[in-house]
Amino acid sequence: MNTEARKPVDSGYEYRKAYIPLESNPVVFTELAHRLGLSESLAFVDVLSLDDPDLLAFIPRPVVAFVLVFPTSEKYHKETEADENRRKEYRGSGASEDVMWFQQTIYNACEPDSTLAEILQKAEPLTPKSRALSLEDSDDLEKAHAAAAQKGDSAVPEDPEDEVDYHYICFVKSNKNGHLYQLDGDRKGPVDLEISLAEGEDLMEKKVLDILRGFIYGEDGDNQNFSLMALAANVED
C-alpha cells in the first residue's frame, strides 16, 4: 500500500504542522471519514482497474469522488509548475463557490473529508488561506488523523516530517455547475477539468475515467505505482 506525499508543487509554502502519513487503504479512509462525520451511506473502495469492465462493475454506484495517489516524477513537477504559472491564485469563498477547496498547509494531510460539518461550516465564508489555518486549528481532525495513521498494513514513520514519495489528489463533481474538478491542496486552487456531467451522471462515466487514465498512464504508458479509491455508495450500510 502507498502512503501520502509531502512535497508541494513548488508552492514555496513552509508547512506549519506535520501529520503522520495515511496509508492508501479504503478501510482506513472510510473509518477516518466516518469518524469525522461523513454519512455512513458512503464508503471508500479500491478501484482495481480502469479498463476491465468486470472489475469496474464491482464498484458500487453512485461514485461521488475518486482519490488518486501516485509517484510525483520530475516530469509531473515541471508540467504542473508550468500550468500553475498560467493560473491565478484562487480567492473564492462563500456559498456561491462551485467547489470548496483547501490549501494544504499541514505536512502529510492531503484533504481527508459532527467534526466534518463543523469544519465545513466554519470554512465556507473564509478565504483559502484562512481556511487552511482553520484546519490547522482543528484538534478533532488532528486526533482522528493520528488514530487512522496507525492502521493499515504499511510501516508507520516515526517522524511525521519524513518525506515520502507519493501524492494524493481528489476528483469531484460540482453540485453547482456539474463540472469535474481536480482538488489538490498544493495547487493555487481547484482545477476545472472542463468535463461536464449531467444530472444523474456520476464519476463512472467514460469521460471521467479517461481523465483518470491520463493521470495514471501519462508518464510512460504503464504506471503501476498508483492507487485509486472511489468514494461510493456503502453496500454494507
- Catalytically active residues are 110, 167
Neighbours of 158 (CB within 10 A): 7
**Which has the closest alpha carbon to 26: 17, 18, 38?**
38
Identify residue 78 by its one-letter amino acid code: K
Identify residue 205 by its one-letter amino acid code: E
Q: What is the helix (H) or strand (E) element at residue 233, kind and residue range?
A: strand 227-233
**Which has the closest alpha carbon to 156: 22, 50, 44?**
22
Distance, CA of 63 to CA of 59 (rounded, Å): 8
Q: What is the helix (H) or strand (E) element at residue 214, kind and residue range?
A: helix 206-217
DSSP assignments along 120-149, one per residue:
HHHHTTS-HHHHHHHHHT-HHHHHHHHHHH
Distance, CA of 177 to CA of 11 (rounded, Å): 28
